[in-house]
Structures are given as C-alpha cells and as structure tokens.
Structure 1
Amino acid sequence: MIYTCTMNPAIDLFTEFENFEPHVVNRSIFEDYQANGKTINISFMLKKMGIDSVATGFLGGFTGRYIQEELERTGIATDFVSVDGITRINTFIKAGLREFKAVNRGPEISMEAQEKLIKKIGTLSSKDMLFVSGSLPRGVDDAILKKISELSKQIGFDLVLDVSSDTLISCLVDEPYLIKPSDEELAAWLDVDPATFDDEEQLIAAADQLLHKGAQRLLVSRGEKGTMYADGKRVLFTTAPKGQVVNTACAGDTLLATFVGSLIQGETLEDALIYATAAGSSTAFTAGLSDLKDVPELMKQIKLTINVKGARKS
C-alpha cells in the first residue's frame, strides 16, 4: 500500500476581487476552498491515475474534518492523528493584477501526537511505500524526518522524500527510494550558486554526491528548464512544454506523484519521466491540480535526453 504523510496540511482559500482596498468591506466575486498539503496533493493525483493510497499526518478541528471529508469523498482512505487546535487556513487573494498570500502557522503539535504518528509509520510493511513531503508544523523538530528514514531502513518500506530541510542529508544513509529536490534546494544543500546548474554536467555531479551518500534515485524539478532523473546508472533530462504559468505551488507535487505512479503502473523510466513532466506542467498551467486531460498533447512538446555512463543520446 502507498501512504502519504502530511504533517502541516491546510485549507487553501482562494478569493478574487475586482478591487481590494483597506478600511472598507471588500466583497469577493469568486471563492474556492481546497484541501491542501504537498502529500495530500500526491494522494489526489495518484487517485486520478487510479492508484489508491492512505493519507496520514496531523489534523485538528473543523478544518481538519473538512480536509478528511474531502479526501474520503474522493475515495482516498485516511488514518490521521487527531490533534488539539485547528488545522490552518491559508488565504490567497487576487485583485486585478495584484496578489496577496497569507500563510498561517497552524496548531502546535504535542510530543504525544508525534509519537502516535511514528507508531503508525512503524506498522508499515516492507511492501509499502511512504511519501513524506512539505513543511513541518510548530512543535515538530526536523529530527522526526530522521526517525522516519530510520524506520524505512529497519522495516524495508520505500521512502519518498520531498523536503527542503537540511536534515534530509542525514537521512540519505538510510537509502530512501527517491528524493525530489528542486534545483534551488539542491544548490542550498551543497552550498553552491543555483546558476551553477545551468551547466547540466554540474547538475549531474551534484546529483552524484547525493547518490553516493545513499539516495537510490533523484528527481530534480527545474521549472521551465524541465526535469532531471538520476539513479547512478542513468541520467535523464526532459525539456518542459510551453504554456501560460498560473500556479507553480502544486506542480512539483504533481510531477512526483505521476512519476512514481507511472513506474508503479509498469511504464518505462523514459515514458514515466515524460508523462510526469507533462503532468507537472499541466498543473502549472491551471488554477488547481491537473485533471490530466491535456497531458497527451503536452507530452508531444517534450524532448528526452539520456546519459548512460557519460554517453549522451536523444
């Protein structure tokens, strides 16, 4: 079974106004509420591919109940730890050409709740896969990531990590199945200028450093430059399709979910990477998560380049 762990979920409230001014009542012309969180998005995208998962993490209050209900309404099983307080609501306001983003802290998570989550993860089997992604809530130390990676090593389940914390480096010795940094996150971990990775050979060398530390696979999101995959034997690059970018926040989640999902469904590595790159772009070109309908057309724009032990071919 696939599990997705979201420790700092949110309801994202999107509102649009003709004008948004201080000291007056501003009335919206559009509003939309979305259950959100990086691995919650992964569960939603896997479901769109016909792949089941169990969503876990921390939820609290009426907002937490809404998120759980939205997941279950979509047919996604849930196994969250209930916490005191209220799961956060983030607000995104669009008024003409102006945009405002208000991201809240959310509840503080007790040690008791954290121990309950670790206990749940400890019940996974060697046949399972766990996605851990996104920010950590108040009260939760980065050390929880290391605890989870150690459990993956002990039990043998596949761990997929998409976190910006420097603690990820210490998790690599536990040989996670896949990590998904952006090129900027990769640069920060290795203390280099992100512009260095305009040279693909420098990006390959950086990926090799993390593979040598224990990561089994890297999937690097590069925005408009496309995607890179590396596993120590092969390096694959894809270009990104062209389109009007509307929403970059969930594109990486879509990329990760559809890449791993495609591999689970038996697609070749090359086809999985092309499909995932198109799907991630599809989400970037829409206000919400992609419905995947335009992915076949976007795939036609993508060029794949393979590097096998230094031999480049297209």
Structure 2
Amino acid sequence: MIYTVTFNPSLDYVVKVDNFAVGEINRTQVENIYPGGKGINVSLVLQNLGLQSVALGFTAGFSGAEIERLLQEAGCRCDFIQAGQGCSRINTKIISDSETALNGQGPQLSKEELQKLFTKLQGLTQDDILVLAGSIPASLPDDIYEQILELLQPACTRVVVDATGDLLLKVLKYKPFLIKPNHEELGEFFGRGPLLNEEDILAAALKLQQQGARNVLVSRGADGAVLLDENGRQHMMASPKGKLVNSVGAGDSMVAGFLAGYLKTQDYEEALRLGVAAGSASAFKDWLATSDDIDKIILQGVTNK
C-alpha cells in the first residue's frame, strides 16, 4: 500500500476576479474549493491513475471534516488524526492580473497527537511506500522527517521525500527510495542559484545520491525532468508543449505519476515518462490531472532528450 503524509492539510479556496483591486469590494467570476496539501495531491493523482493510497496526517474542526469529505468523494482512503484544537487551515488564492495567496496557519499539534501518527507508521512494512511531502507546521519539531525515517528503518519501508532545505538533506543518510527536488531547490542545496543545464543538474543529483538517496528525480518545469536512478543510469525527459495554467500540484502529480509508472512496470524510464506526463497534465489545467488528461499527454508523446 502507498501511504501519504500531509502534516498541515488545507481547504484551498481558489477564485478568479477581473481587475482585482486592493481595498475595494471585489466580486468573483469563478470560485472552487479543493482539498490541499502536497501529500493529499499525491493521493488524489494516484487515485486518478487507478492506484489506491491512504492519506495520513492531521485535520481539525469543520474545515478538516470538509477536507476528508472531499477526499472520500474523490475515492481516496483517509486515516487522519483529529487534532483537539483549532481548525485545518483555509488557503485563499486570488487569480486576476496577477496571483495573490493568503495561507492559514492550521491547528496546533500536541506530542500525544504526533505519537498517534508514529503508532500508525509503525505498522508499515517493506511492501509499503510512504510519501512525505511538503513543509511542517511550527508546532512540530524540525527533525520530524528524520524521526519518521529512523522509525521505519527496521521495516525497510520505501520512503519518498519531497521537501526543501534541511527537511530533505537530513534524511539522506536513511537512504530514501526517491527524492524530488526541483532545479531551483537543487541549486539552493549547494549554495547556488537555479541549475539550468543538465550537466550541472546531474552533477548535483549525484552528490545527493552519494549522500544516500537511491533515486533522484529533478523537476525542471517547462524543460521536463532528469532522473538519476539507483542503478547509475541517467534519464532525461522533455516536457510536452502546452500553456501553463497552474503550477500548484504539478510536482506532486509528477511524484504520483512516477510511482504509478514504477509500480506498474518496474522500469525507471517508464516511471519518468508517466511522471512527466502527469506533472504536465496538471500544469495545463486549473486543478489536478485526471487519467484522461494524462492519457492525452502520453498520446502526444513524452520523449527522451
């Protein structure tokens, strides 16, 4: 089974407004409410690709109940821990001539609630995959990812980590199955700006692999993706042509597509192909890609570089 963890899920209230004016009353032309959070996005796209997962994490209050309802409506299994105080955050995104976002804080989480998550994770085995994705709320210790990977070491659970900064770098020693930085984050790891050419990307990915990561998948936006797999093979895939509509969730969709492709074929080349197709399909629409969206991208052709 695939499990995803979202420490701070959200309800994402996304509105489109013509000529948004600060300090004035603005009326929406389009509005939608989505369940949000990187792990949740992975679960939703996996479901769209025909793979079941279990969404773990923390929810609270009326907004937390709505997050779970929307996920279940989409066919996803949930096993969230109910936080005793506060409400799950509500994020507002205003799309007009430019984009404006206002993100909530989310609930305070106690040590007892965190221990409930650890207890659930202790049941994972070597046949399971765990996806840790995104930032963590301020109420949690900053080494929470490390604690989880250390907890799972005896079980040999395959772990996917999609995070920034020390959250990712400090877990490399536990040999995660997959990490997925983007080209900007990859440069930041080594005190540089965005890495734009493939030679630099592969050199940086190799350093992360030498520190412990089994597979390093680097998303490059419109330039596709690069994968350095655990067998030492380099894979480069171009992105299909299309209009960028919404980059939020594209990286999470790539993770879901990669996992779906790998589990179905056991082939890293095909995993990368489906990952790029899923990421691109989500980038070309208002929300996450469906299986039909992804199939259309595959039919157009996702090609090696």
Structure-2-length-normalised TM-score: 0.94
Aligned-partner Cα distance in 2 for 1:186–1:154: 29
List per-residue Cα deviations over 1:244-299 (Å, max 9, x = no partner): 10101110000110111111112632222122212211111100001132434433
Amino acid at match of 2:224: G
Q: Which SS does the other structure have where 1:198 is aligned?
A: coil
Quick check: 2:183–2:196 contact (8 Å CA) kept in 1?
no
- How many residues are treated as equivalent by the alignment? 302
Match of 2:48 in 1: 48
Shift of 1:47: 0.6
Quick check: 2:93–2:100 contact (8 Å CA) kept in 1?
yes
Aligned-partner Cα distance in 2 for 1:276–1:87: 29
Shift of 1:123: 1.8
Quick check: 1:106–1:138 contact (8 Å CA) kept in 2?
no
Aligned-partner Cα distance in 1 for 2:199–2:20: 47
Matched, 1:250 2:259: no
| Structure 1 range deviating more: 146-155 or 38-47 | 146-155
Aligned-partner Cα distance in 2 for 1:109–1:119: 16
Matched, 1:87 2:85: no
Shift of 1:77: 1.4
Aligned-partner Cα distance in 2 for 1:168–1:53: 22
Q: Which SS does the other structure have where 1:166 is aligned?
A: helix
Quick check: 1:109–1:138 contact (8 Å CA) kept in 2?
no
1:154-193 matched pairs, under 5 angstroms: 154-193=154-193
- Residue 130 and residue 19 in structure 1: after superposition, are their counterparts in 2 closer, same or farther (change >3 A)? same
List per-residue Cα deviations over 1:220-242 (Å, max 9, x = no partner): 10111110111241010011111
- Residue 27 and residue 166 in structure 1: after superposition, are their counterparts in 2 closer, same or farther (change >3 A)? same
Q: Which SS does the other structure have where 2:200 is aligned?
A: helix
Aligned-partner Cα distance in 2 for 1:17–1:143: 40
Match of 1:229 in 2: 227
Gaps of 5+ in 1: 306-314
Match of 2:26 in 1: 26
Structure-1-length-normalised TM-score: 0.91
List per-residue Cα deviations over 1:118-155 (Å, max 9, x = no partner): 22112212211100101101211221100111122221
Quick check: 2:49–2:290 contact (8 Å CA) kept in 1?
no
Match of 2:258 in 1: 259
Shift of 1:218: 0.8
Amino acid at match of 1:202: D
Gaps of 5+ in 2: none
List per-residue Cα deviations over 1:75-95 (Å, max 9, x = no partner): 211111111210000001123
Match of 1:98 in 2: 98
1:140-155 matched pairs, under 5 angstroms: 140-155=140-155
Q: State the identity as a percent.
A: 36
1:53-92 matched pairs, under 5 angstroms: 53-83=53-83, 84-92=85-93
